[in-house]
Amino acid sequence: MLFSPANLPYWIFLITGILLFLFMIMLGGESELDADADLDIDIETNIDLSFGRFLEWAGIGKVPLILMLATDLSLWGVIGWMLNVWLGGINQNQQLPLMGIIILLISLIISLFIGRLIAEPISKMFAEFSEDASGDRLVGCIGTVTSVYIPAENINKIGQVDIFDPKGNFLTINAVIPDWATIAPQRGEKVIVIELKQQIYLVIAKDSVDEENWLNSSDSKNQN
């Protein structure tokens, strides 16, 4: 039953998923298809809200697309093969003609559900694997606050921010706001990274007076 022709699609899915993982490793965790711009799909549009919700549920737009495909295809291959062996063995005498299609669809749904749960941790692993030595590569990048808020740097607390680096790697970083900042960004709000200081990133609220002050200060330094 292991090498039965009925399992051929699942072997193809599994091998394709593994090859995609190897491809990402060869690229150093990078992907031309990142999670933001290359799909040309706005999941907030009203053109097809149900399709947008499905993409969001499946994890599309949260991690690089190639990583999402590698994860889902690998899971589809393993889960489909297991179900095919189990259900095929139970129903081998009945020979139900639709059983193969049912197993295909069930394994796909399970794979998408599990894939969306584990794709982000895998993405972080690839990001750490491919992380370059320059600590300032995130300066100027925009992220989203995931902690309750971002505290000031002088109170010995840290917040957390989800962010994509310039290579499209998804990262969660420890962050504080500088002492001079006037706004403490809250969960879900956008921030911009301005500096790396002792392994903790300084961030400020996006589109705020703090950002204007930082930009003006940077311009003054450049002119001098």
What pLDDT is recorded for position 130?
52
End-to-end CA distance of the chain: 74
Instruction: Give domain limits for the chain.
Output: 3-129, 139-220
The overall average pLDDT reported for the chain is 76
- pLDDT grade for 55, boundaries at 50, 70 and 90: low
What are the backbone dihedrals phi and psi of residue 99, each rounded to the nearest 5 degrees, phi first? -60, -40
More confident: 182 or 27? 182
> Cβ neighbours of residue 183 under 8 Å, at least 6 residues apart?
177, 204, 205, 208, 209, 210
| Percent of all residues in the chain with a pLDDT value above 70, rounded to a whole number | 68
According to CATH, the superfamily of the domain at 139-220 is Nucleic acid-binding proteins (2.40.50.140)
Model pTM score: 0.48
Q: pLDDT of 112-138, one tens digit each?
A: 889 888 877 776 666 555 554 455 778
What pLDDT is recorded for position 18?
92
What pLDDT is recorded for position 133?
41
